Amino acid sequence: MSTAELIFVLVKAWLVTGAFVSVIFLTIGIDQIDEDAQDAYVFRPLLVPAILLIWPLVLWRWYVLKTGRDNPMSRFHPVRKAHDVVAVMLAAAIIAALVAGFSVRQTWPADADPVQLSEKSESSK
Amino acid sequence: MSVKYVPVQWNRNKWMYDGFLLVGVGLFLGFFLHIRPDFLSGNDPRINAQILNARAFGVCAFLMLSIILSIGPLARLDPRFSALLYNRRHFGVMTAAVALTHFGFILNWYFAFSKSNKYEALLFANTNYGQIAGFPFEMFGLFALICLLILSTTSHDFWLKFLTAPVWKRLHYLIYPAYAAVVAHVALGMLQDASGNVFPALFVVAALIVAGLHVAAFVHDRRHGDPVAEPVAEGWFRICKASDIREGRARIGLLPNGERVAVFRQDDKLSAISNACAHQNGPLGEGRIVDCLVTCPWHGFNYDVRSGRSPAPFTEKIPTYNLKVHDAEVYVDPNANEPGTYVEPVEVPPLEGEA
């Protein structure tokens, strides 16, 4: 099995597990942990794509809320401190990407014959 | 604000907002696909309709993402831009849809004719991660797309309440690495096509604007951040003078535990509530009181500043704080009350000129 095939299998396993979690959560769990969701069914299919992607987070929050471990005051602690660091890192990353892109950009005529920059792919070897 | 969840909380403003967005995306794509396709193809006959579609949707997604990322720092630099935050989630969902369409065109052209599964072909077609020229830039795009899908699929208000605003915000910080990845994706991908200058110019200007706005907002926050509350005797913290607070407005104080408190003046009585809205932790202290209720400047959630409760039938609650006024100075107890706890407002002398 190639690395690409292995990654593809793992992704499928992740999504299938997410589908299983979404069925259980949207039929049983959601009514137990959110009173605003009780008797509200039309919006539930909209939650499925997110559960497929972040099901471990869903299971963790479900557990925290169901077992009464949620700290209601934690909802009022905005994550503002990290914002400064993220803003500077984003700007630095943008500059780095632009420099990298322009440093290897080629200026030959558009109709020049293409040149193979990378090695041939696994399938064509 | 909701009592029971509905699929999408549309109202007239949101219909208009989404309508403008759709028209804007349609006009953009129409221009680059039908009026000036040469901007993206450089009149190269090898650029067929499939590739042109992929490029047009890709450029559109990049510019939409650039606009979304510019709104936050703009709102911090000038509160008048806060109105643009309204319905930004719909903007994000539409951006993810445009990016997904770009992905579809790419996958079904460049990788569709492989003997292998096209998704696997995307992963193994180029594995030269050790070089800049010829780097598999598709992986940057794939990473950004996964981030955008996570952000757009978790945009419903259910996720805000279920995950809590701080966790939801942390998750949505993915927008930053996603944008950096998109810039790298374009810089090592389409920018390498030397056949045109319109797109490279557009790309560089947009990326530098996003970077510049974030640095400017960072500097602005450092210079004009919320004042730190000063500790005084018996655990109380000084926020400001009572006369510093205008009628219907608040002064914000940063408490030692990192929480922000907003002290409001309403009819010459002071009340203190958490500065963080229960919805997305928007800065309530930057809102103003209308009909006894403070309105969050981000999405319009309302709270009674005396109790921290949203008006019925809504159920949102935020913490309140005990406060006292001594020698015209306002002091706050940093130990917040349970969300929704009523605190009797403290009377203060009328402001000069308003008595």
pLDDT tens per residue across span B253-287: 988 888 899 999 999 999 999 999 988 888 899 88
Minimum-distance CB partner of B150 among A38, A53, A119? A53
Alpha carbons B184 and B176: distance in angstroms, whole number: 12
Cβ-Cβ contacts under 8 Å between A and B: the total is 210
User: How much is the pLDDT for B179?
Assistant: 98
Number of domains comprising chain A: 1
Percent of chain A with pLDDT over 70: 89
Q: How many CB atoms lie within 10 A of CB A74?
A: 11
Going B83 to B89 to B93 to B96, the CA torsion angle's sign is positive
The stretch B311-337 carries a mean pLDDT of 91
A92: in domain: no
Residue B354 pLDDT > 60: no
**Contacts A118 to B, Cβ<8 Å:** 126, 128, 131, 134, 136
B355 contacts: CB under 8 Å, gap ≥ 6: none
The stretch B311-317 carries a mean pLDDT of 87
Whether B166 and A77 lie within 8 Å, measured CB to CB: yes
User: How much is the pLDDT for B355?
Assistant: 47
Residue A80 pLDDT > 60: yes
Whether the CB-CB separation of B257 and A76 falls below 8 Å is answered with no
CA Rg, chain A, in Å? 24
Q: Which segment of A74-78, A114-118, B321-325, B343-347 scores lowest on mean pLDDT?
A: A114-118
Please tell me whether the interface predicted TM-score (ipTM) of this complex is above 0.90: no
A90: in domain: no
A82: in domain: no
Minimum-distance CB partner of A43 among B158, B191, B208? B158
B161 touches chain A (CB under 8 A): yes
User: How much is the pLDDT for A83?
Assistant: 82
B10 touches chain A (CB under 8 A): no
Q: Which segment of A109-118, B60-69, B182-191 scores lowest on mean pLDDT?
A: A109-118
A66: in domain: yes
| Residues 283-302 (B) with a CB less than 8 A from some CB of A | none
Residue B301 pLDDT > 60: yes
More confident residue, A124 or B76: B76
Whether A97 and B183 lie within 8 Å, measured CB to CB: yes
Q: How many CB atoms lie within 10 A of CB B349?
A: 11
A71: in domain: yes
Q: Which segment of A108-112, B37-41, B122-126 scores lowest on mean pLDDT?
A: A108-112
Q: How confident is the model at residue A111 (pLDDT cuts 50, 70, 90)?
A: low
Alpha carbons B323 and B300: distance in angstroms, whole number: 26
Q: How confident is the model at residue B308 (pLDDT cuts 50, 70, 90)?
A: very high
User: How much is the pLDDT for B225?
Assistant: 76
A8: in domain: yes
A42: in domain: yes
A45: nearest Cα among A14, A19, A16: A19
Residue B143 pLDDT > 90: yes
More confident residue, A80 or B142: B142
Residue A90 pLDDT > 90: yes
DSSP string over chain A: --HHHHHHHHHHHHHHHHHHHHHHIIIIIHHHH-GGGTT--TTGGGGHHHHHHHHHHHHHHHHHHHTT---GGGGG----HHHHHHHHHHHHHHHHHHHHHHHS---S-TTSPP---SPPPGGG-
SS3 B230: strand
- Residue-wise pLDDT for B26-44, tens only, equals 999 999 999 998 888 877 7
Whether A78 and B158 lie within 8 Å, measured CB to CB: no
The b-or-e profile of B81-118 (16+ CB within 10 A means b, else e) is ebebbbbbbbbbbbbbbbbebbbebbbebbbeebebee
Residue A115 pLDDT > 80: no
In DSSP terms, B237 is beta-bridged to B231, B332
A52: in domain: yes
User: How much is the pLDDT for A92?
Assistant: 97
Q: Which segment of A21-25, A98-102, A109-113, B125-129 scores lowest on mean pLDDT?
A: A109-113
| Chain B residue with Cα closest to A57 | B163
Q: How confident is the model at residue B103 (pLDDT cuts 50, 70, 90)?
A: very high
Domain that holds residue A14: 3-75
Average pLDDT, chain A: 88
Minimum-distance CB partner of A2 among B44, B124, B188? B124
A106: nearest Cα among B188, B46, B194: B194
- Residue-wise pLDDT for B212-253, tens only, equals 999 999 999 888 877 778 888 778 999 999 999 999 999 999
